[in-house]
Every structure is written in C-alpha cells, then in structure tokens.
Structure 1
Amino acid sequence: MPKAGVPGDGIFLVGKDIQAGTYRSEGKNKYGCYWARLRDTTGEDSAIIANGNAQGPAIVKVAAGDRAFQTSDCKPWKKIA
C-alpha cells in the first residue's frame, strides 16, 4: 500500500511507494528543497515533467500518470488532497 506522505529524500514510484495527490512541505532542511515530478526513472533531463527549488513552503500535485516523485533536502511532504 502506498504511503500518504513522502518518507524522505529519494525517488518514489507513484502508486507503489506514494499515492498520487497534492503534497505540501514546509520547505528546505538545510540548503534548498528540490522536487521533481518524473515520467520515468532514467535520470535524464527529458524525464522531468516539472521541478522546483523551494526555500519556503511548497505544494506539488503528483498526478496518477506520473511515474515517480523525486525530492531532496525538504522537510517532510504531507498529503493534503
């Protein structure tokens, strides 16, 4: 069963590791909160659907059609919708 939150840094498969939906983070831990919605997990730039660097609070809608969600150095992401 996918989690209703994002458990930390890494790449998480939508539908396996995390649920599709809208997530909120309070922002960066230390340097800057990076996030990306991914169409695949190849690591290529073409895999990025959308991404950002948040200093403060961030909201991201992870779609059911996204393959994965990547995050690093963010405070915990909590599912809000």
Structure 2
Amino acid sequence: MSRTAQPWALILAAAAAIAGAAPASADPLDPIPGEGFFLVGADITPGLYNTTGSASPFVLYINDVPTQDSMCVWFTYSTPDTNKDRVVATNMSVGPMNAAINSTVRAFESHNCQPWTRVG
C-alpha cells in the first residue's frame, strides 16, 4: 500500500468498525406516547400501564355509541410487528383503561390515546 493510501485505509477501517458496532440502547419510554408502535424490551418495559383515555378533543356519538375515531385503541402482539393475526389482547375506550404488557408480549401499538404511564 502506498503512503497516500494509508490514511484512507484507516478511515475505511474505522468506518467499518463503527458500522458493525451495536447501537447504543436507549432508556425505555415511560410514559409511552399515546400514538405509535413500540417493541417490548427495546422501546418499553413490560408492566401494567394506564391511560386517561382518548386524545380526541371531542367525542362524537352515533346512537349513544362513540365513533371509532373518538376512541383510544391499543393492541399487544406476540410478534414484533403489526400483524393483526398475532394480536394477544386489544381494547378501545373513550375513558381510562389499562394495558397489561407482560414478558410474553413482543410489541404494543396505541392510537389516539393519552400517554400511557406504568403503574405496576
């Protein structure tokens, strides 16, 4: 290798070492945002979580039933994706509710909810 190629070789070796390094782990989210998809272990810690309910500024009722867009909805999955065939549990409400995210759950999805706070 020529003298002029050596600095580039060092830069390439350093870049390869950085690319192969494991990403730094972030602290689990608490509270969990009310909108999103989260991996258990990587993004959130297993536990019992509570939300105060829907994040909608208003609730629209049709025949005394709140519309789906008015509700907070959540899902837990047995796989780290949003495959609805792998739903472990789900619930929807305009008011407060809990979500049990145990160690067998791989992912959690939440839509139109206030933040989720760990209570147990």
Name the TM-score, length of structure 2 as normaliser.
Answer: 0.63
Of 25-34 and 2-11, deviating more is: 2-11
Residue 75 of structure 1 deviates from its aligned partner by: 0.6
Q: CA RMSD in A?
A: 1.2
Alignment partner, residue 74 of structure 2: 35
Unaligned runs of 5+ in 2: 1-26, 57-69
Identity %: 30
Residue 9, structure 1, aligned to residue 35, structure 2: yes
Which whole-Å CA distance do the structure 1 matches of 2:40 and 2:83 have between them?
A: 18
Deviating above 3 A after TM superposition, structure 1's stretches of 4 or more consecutive aligned residues are: none
Which whole-Å CA distance do the structure 1 matches of 2:76 and 2:90 have between them?
A: 6
Name the TM-score, length of structure 1 as normaliser.
Answer: 0.90
- Paired amino acid for 1:8: G
Residue 45 of structure 1 deviates from its aligned partner by: 2.1
Residue 63, structure 1, aligned to residue 102, structure 2: yes
Aligned residues: 81
Structure possessing the higher relative contact order (Cα contacts under 8 Å, 6 or more residues apart): 1
One of 47, 68, 77 as aligned partner of 2:86: 47
Task: Return the structure number with greater strand share.
Answer: 1
